[in-house]
Structure 1
Amino acid sequence: MEIEVSSRNMKFLECFSSQTRVRIIELLNARPMNIKSLSEALDIKSPIVTRHIHMLEEAGIVRCESLAGKRGMQKVCHLQLTHAMLLFGGTPAADMAKKYTVSLPVGHYSSCEIKPTCGLASEAQMIGMCDDPRYFADPEHVKARVLWFGSGYVEYRIPNYMVNNETPVSLEISLEICSETPCAVNHLPSDIAFALNGVGIGTWTYPGDFGSTRGIYTPDWWHKNIQHGLIKTIRINGQGSFIDGIQVSGITIDRLKLAYDKEILFRISCSPAAKNCGGVTLFGKGFGNYNQDIEVTLRCE
């Protein structure tokens, strides 16, 4: 997310003028919390916490939902924004560019090579049997809202809506991802690699799973260890490749050779030869904490 430093964005910028609001962000970065828990952790009264949360919610930094608790409804707060870039030089050219967006369900991969442990599930039930890679070729795989594998890859064909007089300036991919497979142990790191059109753009090491906390959108019938992941935002532009705003390689968008008449292939992999081979879990709508599919934005000029 890019934020221009200007008076029109004061609601966002003012969120960081308070030590209490910054502390709330730190707490929510660790886990979702209700107002009462935040009040106890901060040692301030609940109405004051509520006012701070309202301000963070208006700025799009925090999102809240009402859930049934032991004594009625409770307001549970989640950190929605994972990163932001402050722009001091005005509106970037990319924001003025033509934009194409698409949502890819996690089950809509175009090719894969899977090693157990592995599996797929829709919102309603498992698809096939656990730890049998053959079910990744089952036609029902397109209904998957969560999938996992111990090593190997899944590859997605991103629709390309460019026209022949456009030049791509940035490609952004957002997804909820985790290392741990549902039947394995907690705290297993994993070196997860990302590639576009056969070009490796970077590797990110995931520290472990969140099996002890139930995913907000995970169905009630799901009782596997893994519950949710983290939102990761991958961006490739003229300066290089970034994950959550941190540069992971010098691969620029021109290296991907994107053109209006060529497909865009996005691969997510975990190599058995990696230092940390802890597998991959992908969450789509109906699972995890963010209720989204793989979201892609391509900007052109």
Structure 2
Amino acid sequence: MSGKYMVVDPLERLDIIKGLASEVRVKILKLLGTEGPKNVNQIAEHLGLPQSTVSSNLQILEDTGLIFTRSQKARKGSQKICHSAFTEILVAFNDEPAERRNDKIEVAMPLGLYTKCDVSAPCGLCSPEGVIGLLDVPQTFLDPGRMRAGLLWFNRGFVEYQFPNNPMLAEVTPRSLDVSMELSSEVPGTSDNWPSDICLHVNGVEVGTWTSPGDFGDKRGKFTPEWWKLAGSQYGMLKTWSVNGQGTFVDGEKVSNVTLRDLDLAAHKSIRMRVGVSEDAEHPGGINIFGRGFGDHDQDILLRINI
């Protein structure tokens, strides 16, 4: 599973070191990281601990940013659901800049922070707490509440994200560029046989298309909230577009001859990433994009530059 990583300078973030200095808190992090979001009662039951003990340790983890919580409707009022913020934490004892470690630069973009969109119905946005705006109304994609989105879908069109051009700022030469996100087709209800051609553009260049086989609803997504109807899209497939000197690949399979040179990253102050379904697609089966709080992979849209 792809995840979110954190590099810690122990002198600057002693709070995180202290946050990890507890067997209970480490067990909580491992539980959330392996089994997904849970409420306080579920964590206490799984670890065999009093709810008060779990609550106090969760507060420490939340204060240090190692977990985050979201409110979710319950039978009586609402409940807090705890999410792990990181899958790996590296404690660094050297002075190498964090963004250069492991020869890669990563930026995780929340699903709702697109800078441009043009979508057609059926379409919609959801946060882990509920529906955002009106369903099947494209103008809802301009709602400020979109910043909280964990799931979005539309029939045709695109959403575009603007990432900082960190390689240019760091004055390094990239070897390859990866874009990773969880995707599926979009059909009213669900169908595992509903192909859709999902296309990725970077800096205005069409880099390659992946054909999603369907819109999956045979089981609840690992991170999909309980309030989301089971008849709706539940999860997708985690796909990675990779652009290097030999071409563009999706999960290792070559899909086009577009190379990193064609993207001309050095000529742009930002990296624009557009994903969607074209009007002339052979299989115009719509798109679901799953972010944090939905689907099987609790991650944002991830841009990775390998240097």
Contact 2:191 2:214 in 1 (8 A): no
* Residue aligning to 2:299: 292
* Residue aligning to 1:99: 104
* 5+ long unaligned stretches in structure 1: 2-62, 74-94
- Secondary structure of 1:259's counterpart equals helix
* Residue aligning to 2:247: 240
- Secondary structure of 1:180's counterpart equals coil
* Residue aligning to 2:152: 147
Shift of 1:254: 0.9
Q: Please say if 1:192 is aligned against 2:225.
A: no
* Residue aligning to 1:55: none
* Residue aligning to 2:30: none
Match of 1:134 among 139, 149, 154: 139
What per-residue deviation string (whole Å, max 9, x for no partner) do you get for residues 229-270 of structure 1?
A: 000011111111110001111111011000275211111110
Q: Please say if 1:169 is aligned against 2:185.
A: no
Match of 2:185 among 159, 179, 195: 179
Q: Please say if 1:277 is aligned against 2:271.
A: no
- Whole-angstrom CA distance in 2 between matches of 1:228 and 1:250: 30
Contact 1:164 1:259 in 2 (8 A): no
Q: TM-score, normalised by structure 2?
A: 0.65
- Whole-angstrom CA distance in 2 between matches of 1:266 and 1:287: 21
What per-residue deviation string (whole Å, max 9, x for no partner) do you get for residues 53-105 of structure 1?
A: xxxxxxxxxx96499xxxx98xxxxxxxxxxxxxxxxxxxxx99742111011
- Whole-angstrom CA distance in 2 between matches of 1:134 and 1:203: 26
* Residue aligning to 1:218: 224
Q: Quick one: structure 1 residues 153 and 265, their matched pair in 2 at CA, closer, same or farther if it must change by over 3 Å?
A: same
Shift of 1:271: 1.7
- Whole-angstrom CA distance in 1 between matches of 2:195 and 2:219: 18
Match of 1:229 among 217, 236, 248: 236
Contact 2:163 2:270 in 1 (8 A): yes
- Whole-angstrom CA distance in 2 between matches of 1:140 and 1:181: 24
- Secondary structure of 1:135's counterpart equals helix
Q: Please say if 1:264 is aligned against 2:274.
A: no
- Whole-angstrom CA distance in 2 between matches of 1:97 and 1:214: 35
Q: Quick one: structure 1 residues 140 and 181, their matched pair in 2 at CA, closer, same or farther if it must change by over 3 Å?
A: farther
CA RMSD of aligned residues (A): 2.5
- Secondary structure of 2:232's counterpart equals coil
Question: What amino acid maps onto 1:101 in structure 2?
Answer: E
- Whole-angstrom CA distance in 2 between matches of 1:204 and 1:123: 27
* 5+ long unaligned stretches in structure 2: 2-32, 39-44, 47-99
- Whole-angstrom CA distance in 2 between matches of 1:196 and 1:271: 15
- Whole-angstrom CA distance in 1 between matches of 2:304 and 2:170: 18
Contact 1:112 1:153 in 2 (8 A): yes
- Secondary structure of 1:254's counterpart equals helix
What per-residue deviation string (whole Å, max 9, x for no partner) do you get for residues 187-246 of structure 1?
A: 211011111001111111111121121101000000052100000011111111110001
Contact 2:116 2:161 in 1 (8 A): yes
Question: What amino acid maps onto 2:210 in structure 1?
Answer: W
Shift of 1:172: 0.9
* Residue aligning to 2:262: 255
- Secondary structure of 2:154's counterpart equals strand
What per-residue deviation string (whole Å, max 9, x for no partner) do you get for residues 93-128 of structure 1?
A: xx9974211101111111010000000000101001
Contact 2:178 2:243 in 1 (8 A): yes
Q: Quick one: structure 1 residues 240 and 96, their matched pair in 2 at CA, closer, same or farther if it must change by over 3 Å?
A: farther
Q: TM-score, normalised by structure 1?
A: 0.66
